[in-house]
Structure 1
Amino acid sequence: MSRMPGLTVPANVTAFMAKQREKADKLRAQHGIEAQSWYRITNATAPDEAEVMLYDEVGGWFGATADQFIADLRGVTAPNLRVRINSPGGSVFEGIAIANALRSHPANIVVQVDGIAASIASVIAMAGDRIEMAPNTMLMIHDASGVCLGNASDMEEMAELLDLISDNIADAYAARAGGTRDEWRALMRAEKWFLPEEAVEAKLADEALQVPKAGTPSEPQPEEEEPDMARAFDLAAYGYAGPKQPKPEPGQPKDVTADLAGPPTLVISVADLLDEDTVARLRAAVAPPVEPVAETTPVEPAPEPAPEPELLAVEPVDEWADMVAHLTQDEPDAWSVLVSNLTTTASSSAATEA
């Protein structure tokens, strides 16, 4: 059985992976392709600085091993070395070998976390003379882990080995940031994640890099034409002539300037450019002659007209009333006509007798 903390596989899997690696090497040789590695060492823009990029898992079967990394690192002769890390971790022992190789290099080493420095990658970061956290990056620490197949004794041995490796890693954090092994083991068991400011506060990093302010380029930019997306639409084709002017309130004069078309004009007074005497002579020269006012005979006011006589008010004639007047008169009673003589005589006799 094969047993490796952080990346542990049985012996049959190890043999299978070895055969796969051998096939991959033959294919690369046939096509002239170099093996892909999980690191890259290049010269930076500055002549006195080199750059190392750890942008993948540490170690592994298909990538370069620690001995290849250390061999390439010996070829760096620049006085300054920037190690940029974006790695989730990997092989514990290869990571420790890389960290020790960086510590022993004569260059001044600045570690810059570009994405994540987790697990053994965080231990590699501790090897820098200065550690910088780029904006929005993270650093993670935890206990060592592994896979083991076997009996109870094998499991107990694996547990003791993992505790020993975790104590060793805790010492690396304590050497950098202070504190005790037990304090760091407690954080490692909780799988502690640090943001840039938190890593600086815990002394696992020296600086949290700031995001450059927007709109302040380091070099002056040439003037550019207005982008098409910022231009206004021409709505004249749809009959739109612009926003309507508000109507003046009652009692307020109309603003005639709103009806004027054309671009604004600049008016300059000539009087502001000349002295007072010159202005006075120019005004006298262009002034129109004053005509004398002729004397006129006063006109007597016209007499006021006599008031018109008042007309008597004539009541309006009701034609309908005249037409129906004869209909409303009382008709003589026939019985009254017949007995009128009787009633008259009786009354006369009564009057005589009395």
Structure 2
Amino acid sequence: MKKRLWQLKQVADNPEELDMYIYDDIQGDTFDYWTWSMTESETSANYFREQLAKYPDVKQINLYVNSYGGSVYEAMAIRSQLLRHSAKVIAIVDGFACSAASFILTGCDEVKMYSNTMQMIHNMWDVVAGNANQLRKAADDLDKLMEGNRQAYLEKSGGKISEEELIELLDNETWLTAQECLDYGLADEVIAEEADLTEAKQLLQKANKTLEQQLSYSRALSAQIKQLSQKPKEAEPKPDPKPIPNDNNDPEPQENKTKNLFMALFVNKEED
């Protein structure tokens, strides 16, 4: 069973506060090609909306984050939901807040980071297939989407970072320390204590594995599409390999002759 990303519970000693945990990847519903069935995600914006609606009167939401990111499509809607909610949203980075997870942080009123935690920001990417025009359009679409994406970071920074500086950070797929996030306005406080990053490291390893799987699936799908689009060719008979000539009157096999010739050349080389 998939580990739940969002864990919503009211704080025992304060029913006006709500704890939330982002401790896994962010994704929508997925289709399982192995079982040929749809899997409902507990990490989607829709699931988040349903759960958040159960607590309309809370005054403060504590959002604990340790995630390498996921779908920016889902993250955009989650961020908007946090902005609309009347509660004060305080995010605490427990490990990594990467990619789409860092985007969600821009919708929080306050972002606190332990001194050894990090954010990672980069440009959006996608896996596409098609002709040359479609590929060019996909790149243009990503550029357009990033224009809106950057505004979220710029608004959160409060003027501490220019758009030119942000573009450079995004282009370089930059890891930011807690102090750097504070300097850029992407965090509001650095907690002097250090967080346990054991689970964060495991998430990063999982991120690498997941990316490899996605690329593998994409290559396999492309190969299948290419194979289906090609007309099968009739198999041509392969010519029989020519036998190595050998004099029937010569008792020494041809392979021994070759070996002896090689050894003779090797000895002569050593003697030179």
Q: TM-score range by the shorter chain?
A: 0.5 to 0.7
Any idea what SS the aligned residue of 1:128 has? coil
After the TM superposition, which residues 114-263 of structure 1 pair with which residues of structure 2 at under 5 Å, given as runs?
Answer: 114-177=94-157, 178=159, 179-211=161-193
AA aligned opposite 1:39: W
CA contact (8 A) 1:58 1:91 kept: yes
Contact 2:179 2:190 in 1 (8 A): yes
Matched AA of 1:71:
E
Instruction: List structure 1 segments (4+ residues) > 6 angstroms apart after TM superposition.
Output: none
Letter in 2 for 1:37: R
Match of 2:22 among 50, 54, 65: 54
1:167–1:185 CA contact under 8 A, matched in 2: no
| SS of aligned partner of 1:86 | strand
The residue aligned with 2:54 is 75
In structure 2, what is the Cα distance between the partners aligned to 1:40 and 1:67? 15
Q: What SS does structure 1 have at the residue aligned with 2:8? A: strand
How many residues in Structure 1 have an aligned counterpart in Structure 2?
Answer: 179
Higher relative CO (Cα under 8 Å, sequence separation at least 6) belongs to 2
Q: Which has the larger radius of gyration?
A: 1
Residue 171 of structure 2 aligns with an amino acid whose one-letter code is R
Cα deviation code 1:47-98 (max 9, x no counterpart): 1211110111111425222111111112122211101111111111110000
Paired residue type of 2:188: D
| Contact 1:84 1:114 survives alignment (8 Å) | yes
| 1:143–1:189 Cα contact (<8 Å) kept | yes
Q: RMSD between aligned alpha carbons?
A: 1.7
- 1:167–1:181 Cα contact (<8 Å) kept: no
Q: Which runs of 5+ in 2 are unaligned?
A: 31-38, 195-272
**Mapping 1:10-49, distance limit 5 Å:** 36-47=3-14, 48-49=16-17
Q: Following the alignment from structure 2 to structure 1, what is the Cα–Cα distance between the partners of residues 100 and 144?
A: 15
Shift of 1:36: 4.7
Asked if the contact 1:166/1:185 (under 8 Å) is kept, the reply is: no
TM-score, L = length of structure 2: 0.62
Q: Deviations over 1:11-64 (max 9, x none)?
A: xxxxxxxxxxxxxxxxxxxxxx8x753221112243121111011111142522
Deviation at 1:123, TM superposition (A): 0.8
2:115–2:179: 8 Å Cα contact kept in structure 1? no
For residues 22 and 141 of structure 2, the distance between their equivalents in structure 1, rounded to whole angstroms, comes to: 27
Residues 129-176 of structure 1, C-alpha deviations (whole Å, 9 max, x = no match)? 111002311001100011011111111111011111222111111111
Which whole-Å CA distance do the structure 2 matches of 1:49 and 1:130 have between them? 15
**Cα distance in structure 2, aligned partners of 1:91 and 1:175:** 21
Counterpart of 2:97 in 1: which secondary structure? strand
Shift of 1:180: 3.8
Instruction: Confirm or deny that 1:103 pairs with 2:83.
Output: yes
Paired residue for 2:239? Answer: none
Look up the match of 2:249: none
Deviation by residue 1:173-195 (Cα, 9 ceiling, x = unmatched)? 11111244333112100111111
Q: Is the 8 A contact 1:145 1:162 kept in 2?
A: yes
* Contact 1:122 1:140 (C-alpha < 8 Å) held by counterparts: yes
CA contact (8 A) 1:38 1:59 kept: no
If each structure's strand is expressed as a fraction of its own residues, which one has the higher value?
2
Determine the C-alpha separation between the residues in 2 that align with 1:123 and 1:46: 30
Percent identical = 30
Distance in 2 between residues matched to 1:149 and 1:172, nearest whole Å: 29
Secondary structure, in 3 states, of the residue corresponding to 1:139? Answer: strand
Q: Please give the TM-score of this superposition, normalised by the length of structure 1.
A: 0.48
Q: Which runs of 5+ in 1 are unaligned?
A: 1-32, 213-354
Q: Which amino acid aligns with 1:141?
A: I
